[in-house]
Amino acid sequence: MKRTVVTMGLTALLLVQSNCTPADVDMPEPSEGAALFNQNCSVCHGANADPTAGELSVGAPDLRQIATRNRGAFPRAAVLSQIDGYGRGRVGAEQMPEFGALLEGELVPVEVEGIFTPTPRPLAALLAYLEDIQR
């Protein structure tokens, strides 16, 4: 409950500071996330998230199947945590580097589990891309 209140407070502060509602914010499109993905993730996960096109043989998962592996639902919170390194422990740093520091920037409100959460725009763009490519 405490985390929800803090998150809601941060979201309200974000929206008040920007004098807008979540619908008014210029949210990143999947194409913006695709460019970031191909710059930062394609070495392991393949160009355009095609794991057969990866340059390293690290056994990276097929990111086009995230929802399938999660019973048809795209787990936004888990994906955000995995990308920025917050969920570290399930996948060691030797397998996937933390990208949180590379994904700083303007905050945009991303809806996660019914709550709009201030999220750095590049991270939100990657999320939009990954959600868009689910099969």
Determine the pLDDT at residue 88: 55
Whether the Cβ atoms of residue 78 and residue 90 lie closer than 8 Å to each other: no
- Decide if 23 is inside a domain: no
74 within some domain: yes
Strand partners, 120: 107
Does 112 fall in a domain?
Answer: yes
pLDDT of residue 29: 96
> For the whole model, what pTM was predicted?
0.76
Question: Consecutive 10-residue runs of the chain (135 residues): their mean pLDDT?
Answer: 41 46 76 94 88 74 94 94 69 63 85 93 95 94
* Domain interval for residue 100: 2-18+29-53+62-132
pLDDT reported for residue 125: 95
pLDDT at 122: 93
Residue 28: burial class (beta carbons within 10 Å; 0-12, 13-18, 19+): buried
Q: Where residue 80 sits, what CATH number does that domain have?
A: 1.10.760.10
- Is the residue at 24 inside a domain? no
Q: What is the pLDDT of residue 120?
A: 93
How many distinct structural domains can be found in the chain?
A: 1
Residue-level pLDDT at 11? 43
Distance CA 119, CA 109 (A): 6
